[in-house]
Amino acid sequence: MTATWILGAAGVALLLLGPRLRHAGWVERSPKLAIGLWQALCLSAVAVPVLMGLTLLVPATVWVTDIAGWVHACAQSIQDAYGFHGDSLEPAIGLLISAATVAWTVGWVTVEAIGAHRDRRRVRDSLALISAADPRLGVHVVQAAAPAAFCVPGRSAQVVITSGALEVLTPAELAGVLAHERAHLNARHHIAVVLSQSLQRAFPHVGLFATATAQTRRLIEMAADDSAVQRVDRLSVASAIVRLASMQAPGAAFAMAGGAATHATTARVGRLLAPALPLERGRQGMVLVGVAALVGVPLLVTVAPTVVAALNHLCAVSF
């Protein structure tokens, strides 16, 4: 039972402390690392209840004999290490927690992924009727005066830009816009968004997932800007953002997400104009250790009693 309680405490800590990552100052300095950390937080928050269920379930099943064989211990000592007393209720609860969490999560991720895939295909089909490929730029151009640039990810991903945007952007600004959009596609940013968003839909009362989704949307823009400034100077990327923003008529999207979007774009321009150095090597390493720990520690806690039983080689025979 100790492992179960430790996992439970870890889960509560994740849900309470995880969302506070959004206040960390370094995330805007190394947005790619931060995206990884948010993904690890989400993964861990789902894995913990599944593993908790397993620590209740496995000692009661016939698998325990197999496991005992692999680690050269005996089933009884493994069961003791998990604090299993032959109670029939615990395994049932364990099975329920694990199976329900896995089924619910996988179900929602599948539904969201299929929905996004279908929406993207519909958008691509509609765009095919109004855009023409420009092989020189490697983009699809829509003949429309309103300036806009965006990408549609997925299997036949494409970058789309309007003729209005092509007219107003300088060559350097255009190169920055295209590099930004290609960075989204190459890094498969949409997968990070779909995953955290699926969890948000699956567990709407868990603040961690809502925060992770909002932060991921914000950070992927900064990560794509970082890729763009490897192609063109920072100022051109900043002026491209401001030029296109100034020519867009605030539409329905603004009314819905105006505040957050405005804040995110202001932050993007700010870090392009006054760049902070990326996180130092040592602190990058610490974040990577954090990512590994978020995924690894719950697994270790789950298998620890088995390992202990194996190391002790003890067979607590009780009559």
Partner 1 sequence: MRPFGDLEAAIMQVLWDRGEPATVRDVLGSLQTPKTLAYTTVMTVLDNLHRKNEVTREMHGRAWSYRPLRSRAEHSAALLQGVLQDAGDPGAVLMHFVADLDPAVVTQLQQAVRAAQTEKDTPA
DSSP 270-282: HHHHSPPPPPPHH
* Of the candidates 180, 284, 265, 288, the residue with the CA atom closest to the CA atom of residue 226: 180
DSSP one-letter code for 26: G
Q: What is the phi-psi region of residue 234: left when phi exceeds 0, alpha when psi lies from -120 to 50, beta otherwise? A: alpha
Q: Does residue number 152 form part of the binding site for partner 1 (CB under 8 A)?
A: yes
Of the pair 80, 225, the CB lying nearest partner 1 is at: 225
Q: How far is the CB of 21 from partner 1 (least distance, A)?
A: 19
Give the x/- contact pattern for partner 1 in 191-230, rule: CB under 8 A. --xx--x------------------xx--x---x------
Give the x/- contact pattern for partner 1 in 100-129, rule: CB under 8 A. ------------x--xx--xx--x-xxx-x
DSSP 35-90: HHHHHHHHHHHHHHHHHHHHHHHGGGSTHHHHHHHHTT--HHHHHHHTT--S-SHH
Q: Does residue number 264 form part of the binding site for partner 1 (CB under 8 A)?
A: yes
- R_g (Cα) of the chain, nearest Å: 25
Q: Which of 151, 208, 222, 223 binds partner 1 (CB under 8 A)?
A: 151
Of the pair 109, 309, the CB lying nearest partner 1 is at: 109
Please check whether residue 196 is in contact with residue 212, taking contact to mean a CB–CB distance below 8 angstroms. yes
- Which pair of tokens denotes residue 154? 């997925």
Q: Which of 146, 286, 299, 300 binds partner 1 (CB under 8 A)?
A: 146
Give the x/- contact pattern for partner 1 in 224-253, rule: CB under 8 A. x----------x--xxxxx-xxx-x-xxxx
Q: How far is the CB of 225 from partner 1 (least distance, A)?
A: 10
DSSP one-letter code for 187: T
Q: Does residue number 179 form part of the binding site for partner 1 (CB under 8 A)?
A: no
Choose the binding region for partner 1 from 14-22, 143-151, 278-286, 308-316 (rule: CB under 8 A): 143-151
Distance CA 57, CA 72 (A): 21
Distance CA 170, CA 90 (A): 67
Q: What is the phi-psi region of residue 208: left when phi exceeds 0, alpha when psi lies from -120 to 50, beta otherwise? A: alpha
Choose the binding region for partner 1 from 35-43, 48-56, 142-150, 304-312 (rule: CB under 8 A): 142-150
List interacting residues with partner 1 (CB under 8 A).
112, 115-116, 119-120, 123, 125-127, 129-131, 142-146, 148-153, 162-163, 177, 180-181, 184, 189-190, 193-194, 197, 216-217, 220, 224, 235, 238-242, 244-246, 248, 250-254, 257-258, 261-262, 264-266, 269-270, 273
